Structure 1
Amino acid sequence: MTDEPLQPSKPVRVFISTGEVSGDLQGALLIQALQRRSQTLGIELEILALGGDRMEEAGAKLLGHTSTIGSIGLLESLPYVLPTLKVQQQAKQYLKIHPPDVVVLIDYMSPNVAFCSYLPKHLPQVPVVYFIAPQEWVWSASSYNTDRIIGATSKILAIFQEEANYFKRKGGKATWVGHPLVDRVQAAPSREEARSSLGIPSDQTAIVLLPASRQQELKYLMPVIFEAAQQIQEKLPQAHFWIPLALEKYRWAIEQAITEYGLRATLLDSNQGQTTLQAIAAADLAITKSGTVNLEMALLDVPQVVLYRVNRVTAWIAQKILKVSIPFMSPPNLVEMKPVVPEFLQDEATVENIVQEAISLLQPDRRQKMLADYQEMRRAVGEVGVCDRAAQEILDLL
């Protein structure tokens, strides 16, 4: 596609489907890039979406709100089945009447893989792009989902090189564009700016706690993270904890837990301009759930301890019946396929393990080793301009 202005007779309709907090963030970054690129090309866009507040603020018309619908695990997902089906049905009905010119699927594995079955049958003329595909290249036990993704998509925009290689080997049309967080961290303040804006004294050890972006994580992760924090503050009187609020509905539970565990902690409120990016940039250390935010921390040179837990029944079914084997869970480790950051899953996610690693990572030698590994990892997540490259690939299909 050239930069010659186009004169379409009507707006180009883009439908984006994603869910959860991380998908909403990545969807918003992509929408901003699509708008930048479309203005250059003289294209008017109409963006419809399943997503959240960030995407709506970026200019999408929401057909359903999905940033609070999501979980990891079998039993954990049951409460979200009906809400997910409901918003998907609403979207399908709308798209039948107002067919899009292109569909973009972002992460959100089960609902979007279901779209991969639906779209070729009901909207066969509409090109489909999968941006941030499920991590089939890491833990796929069969080719079922891979085949559905490849069969439905005109393009797979991979965030990791190995992901692109995997889908190409399977017959997919995959292009490596890099990870969108490479773009996001360009807006991060420096450590000094972040600490100044949050009022963090120079002699204070600032530790970020990220216990939950999903409801289930309040139950399975927050107690062990907060108990570990309690023990850390007994050992380090100069420590203070900073907790970004992922969703407003979690405020009460987190405030209650801060009081219960007696933590010297500040809950950061995005409504007051206090952002997760700001907290991470200011931190000496993070204790965090596994997720996209782990890569954000790595890109900002913040040492971290990662953990994840699900229902014991879910874990048993995954290990014993489904034979799921996960070499690593956190993105920094997946990029390099080596333990860049310490991660503790299920029974290993104990208070003792977390405290030991946290104290260790506050020592200069251990910190420098992790920062060196981060530097090596950066080469594998792409150069700045990820979202603009993704936007161009999408608009090329038009």
Structure 2
Amino acid sequence: MSTQRPLTIALIAGEASGDLLGAHLIAALKQHYPHCRFVGIAGPLMQKEGCESLYSQEALAVRGFTEVVKRLPSILKIRKGVVAQLTAMRPDVFIGIDAPDFNLGVAEKLKAAGIPTIHYVSPSVWAWRRERVNKIVHQVNRVLCLFPMEPQLYIAAGGKADFVGHPLAQTLPLEPDKEGARRQLKLEEAEQVIAVMPGSRVSEIDYMGTVFLDTIPLILESYPNAQFLIPAATTATRQRLLELLDKDQYKKLPVRVMSAHATLACVAADVVLVASGTATLEVALCKRPMVISYKISGLTYRLVKHKIKVPHVGLPNILLGRGAVPELLQKDATPTKLAAAVVHWLDHPEEVQDLQAAFTELHLSLKLNTDELAANAVLAEAKALP
């Protein structure tokens, strides 16, 4: 590390979740090096912590194959530009936060230039395309993992990896306050409440929205006074949900669309109907029974099915190593089957108690001092441990 300048740490976060992780990491690093310089591609939270952003994070927040193809020239131009600037700047360490398609390419070039590199948040190599591990260990010096089963995969391939815990486990309370959540939402304590989470992207609402909404009348046949909460992740998903609910068959459903507040909706709920993805872990950490569902195009499903290496798709089931909550996917993702699975949880409170105990153990296994562990790993690669 040069004595002529402050410790310089480069970071790239490609979307909002990475921006949050990056902001927490920067805050932890500043506890050790208050005058450290942070530079890269940052969202508003990282910038608030003092990170200089060389390009707009929005330019990288692209989802969906067609959108990526359309934006690929500008994304590649940004990657070339940021590699050139960081190579010239020679930071003491580079951290790519999630966004592996972008960040691992940057890391590979910086590592070849002699700059230590870290990837923060392992891609789901344990679930599918496990062969990626061999490439990743050559692209980066170290991987910071959110789940305990991940480091061994990299270590076995000759790399370095650390389990740093999951930030959600650090921020969500071990004992959720259901009564408080219901008071905040002005819901009666005695009524049945179901949170419905069809996904955080418009494309997911298009696939799962009508299936989930068609499930609601079937649940009402068993629980006619039930209330339904749908937290919308973005303005775009909220608009699409409202368009769906404006259709004649859905207009009279007892549904409340909320702007974000997914955690609040989960904590207030008795059961959660949720699209497969990271939201399932949030539901588990809120200690709520759930029914996991997902549908993708038949062609996409056939292409990816043979690459999936785990017996479950839901994170709670994967982490617990068993089918603790139902997964109804593709042809099984029907309103009739979904409603029956939700009603089963409402009818069997003793099973809910057992599940909540398992989710509490899961929460404890993921609850580490994530920010500090990640900061120490970064400083170790930068050869700057205090």
TM-score normalised to structure 1 length: 0.84
- 2:38, 2:307 → 1: CA distance? 44
- 1:116, 1:161 → 2: CA distance? 23
Q: 2:75 aligns with which of 75, 79, 87?
A: 87
| Residues 9/110 of structure 1: CA separation in 2 closer, same or farther (3 Å cut) | closer
- Indicate yes or no: 2:238 matched with 1:254: no
Three-state SS of the structure 1 residue aligned to 2:283 is helix
Q: 1:201 aligns with which of 188, 200, 217?
A: 188
- Indicate yes or no: 2:363 matched with 1:378: yes
- 1:91, 1:256 → 2: CA distance? 37
Q: Is the 2:193–2:226 Cα contact (8 Å) retained in structure 1?
A: yes
- Indicate yes or no: 2:154 matched with 1:161: no
1:119 CA drift (Å): 3.8
| Residues 215/103 of structure 1: CA separation in 2 closer, same or farther (3 Å cut) | farther
- Indicate yes or no: 2:266 matched with 1:266: no
Three-state SS of the structure 1 residue aligned to 2:282 is helix
**Percent of aligned pairs with the same amino acid:** 24
- Indicate yes or no: 2:110 matched with 1:125: no
Q: 1:15 aligns with which of 11, 16, 31?
A: 11
Q: Is the 2:60–2:75 Cα contact (8 Å) retained in structure 1?
A: no
Q: Is the 1:243–1:265 Cα contact (8 Å) retained in structure 2?
A: yes
Q: Is the 1:158–1:175 Cα contact (8 Å) retained in structure 2?
A: yes
What corresponds to 1:316 in structure 2? 302
Corresponding letter in the other structure for 2:62: I
- 1:92, 1:67 → 2: CA distance? 13
Three-state SS of the structure 1 residue aligned to 2:227 is strand
Unaligned ranges ≥5, structure 1: 1-5, 72-76
- 1:374, 1:146 → 2: CA distance? 29
Three-state SS of the structure 2 residue aligned to 1:138 is coil
Unaligned ranges ≥5, structure 2: none
What corresponds to 2:98 in structure 1? 107
What corresponds to 2:266 in structure 1? 280
- 1:108, 1:147 → 2: CA distance? 18
Three-state SS of the structure 2 residue aligned to 1:137 is coil
Three-state SS of the structure 1 residue aligned to 2:257 is strand
What corresponds to 1:297 in structure 2? 283
1:88 CA drift (Å): 4.6
* Cα offsets for 1:297-321 (capped at 9, x unmatched): 11111111111111111112233xx
| Residues 57/8 of structure 1: CA separation in 2 closer, same or farther (3 Å cut) | same
Matches within 5 A, 1:142-157: 143=131, 145-157=132-144
- Indicate yes or no: 2:375 matched with 1:391: yes
* Cα offsets for 1:319-357 (capped at 9, x unmatched): 3xx554442111111112211221122222221221111
Three-state SS of the structure 2 residue aligned to 1:15 is strand
Corresponding letter in the other structure for 2:139: A
Q: Is the 1:182–1:299 Cα contact (8 Å) retained in structure 2?
A: yes
Q: Which runs of 4+ in 1 moved over 6 A?
A: none
Q: What RMSD in Å do the two structures reach over aligned CA positions?
A: 2.7
Three-state SS of the structure 1 residue aligned to 2:288 is coil
What corresponds to 1:41 in structure 2? 33
